[in-house]
Amino acid sequence: MKNVFKFLALSALLMCFALFAGSAFAQTSTTGSIEGTVTDSTGAAVPGVAVKVTSPNLISAQTATTDEGGRYRILNLPPGRYSVTVESEKGFARYERSDVEVNLSRTSSLEIQLQPAGAQASVTITDTAGAAVDVTGTTSGSNVSSEQFSNFPTQRTVQGLYTIAPTVTRSGLRDATGRDRDPSVAGSSGPENNYILDGVNTTDPAFGGSGANLPFEFVQEVEIKTGAYGPEYGKSTGGIFNVITKSGSNEFHGDIFGYGTTKGLVREVKNFPFTGSAFNGFSEADVGGDIGGPIVKDKLWFFGAFNPQKRKNYYLTQTFHAPVQNDVTIPFYAGKITWAINPKKHFHRFDLR
């Protein structure tokens, strides 16, 4: 009996260690940050003021106080668009700036200049210029958010997005549905890449390659690192493909969607090989829905999605030109819980099938 208790205690300790290690890793791979300097109208630093950020993607507001040089930095922000506000009691007008974009593993720089309270009651700036420039990092690659890739003319899975980054090309490998997978980064082979999903390495441990291919509706942002990435992304001589999934919010949102391709829209085969069979087109159905919202506002969120995908591949045999059909069905579904344990610690649980 004592051995059983020892085994259970050791197992619990290992699980806690794995959770801690996973959380530490997730902080560097599933979030971004905002930093900058707060100054007055003369350009002098303003210390001791609180800078607050809010977003539909952030379960609770985050705040940082400027140091003696007026500098601030807010870490561990989920990707999305943020509003930044400063309400000072030091004789300055209220400052607010909206649509500050935060991307995976990147630092958005935002310089804030406060105006005297006597000049105007508040200063509001709406930024629609797009993503902020990260002046702190040297990593090469690309970030693409759900707002962008939802309109891309690509296959509707994350593997269809991997080749949008410079130096990334198709490797010729395909999955069971016939879609591309395991791209080549700057001449490296597909198994040399690392694939990360919500902070967890999903690379195939036996043969390399991507361990998960998610539909667009499950994904918030995709980051593709092609060079000069940090040592925390080890065991890779190719690229890093980092995917963060969607979460709920303080408001209920949902979608119903459907896409399809018929065999009549695909070119038929005219030239046949000497042996084997010839691919003679396909038909595809891609339908589903998702919903997310609060269980407890500012404390506990949920997100769920269901996206069954069906594909029929058609072949003609070389000998008799007889039609052969291969049916592939993938019942994608996912669920996610986001819990704000306290203002500084958030817990995410994501299940995918």
CATH superfamily, region 140-245? TonB-dependent receptor, plug domain (2.170.130.10)
16-31 pLDDT tens trace = 434 444 443 444 478 8
Give the closest residue to 268 by CA, choosing from 256, 254, 282: 282
* Residue-level pLDDT at 176: 53
CA 303 to chain centre: 15
Contacts of 260 (CB under 8 A, 6+ apart): 283, 284, 285, 286, 287
53, 84 Cβ separation under 8 angstroms: yes
* Residue-level pLDDT at 274: 55
The residue assigned the tokens 């690309």 is 142
Contacts of 99 (CB under 8 A, 6+ apart): 81, 82, 83, 126, 127, 128
Q: Does 2.60.40.10 match the CATH number of domain 29-126?
A: yes
For residue 315, give Cα distances in angstroms to 90, 264, 309. 74, 14, 20
Tokens of 332: 């994608």
* Residue-level pLDDT at 25: 40
Give the residue extent of every domain in the chain. 29-126, 140-245, 253-352
* Residue-level pLDDT at 295: 93
Topology match between the domains 29-126 and 140-245: no
Please list the ranges in the chain whose pLDDT falls under 50: 1-28, 130
Contacts of 313 (CB under 8 A, 6+ apart): 178, 279, 282, 325, 326, 327, 328
* Residue-level pLDDT at 90: 76
Sign of CA dihedral 318, 174, 310, 327: positive
- What pTM was computed for the model? 0.75
* Residue-level pLDDT at 24: 38
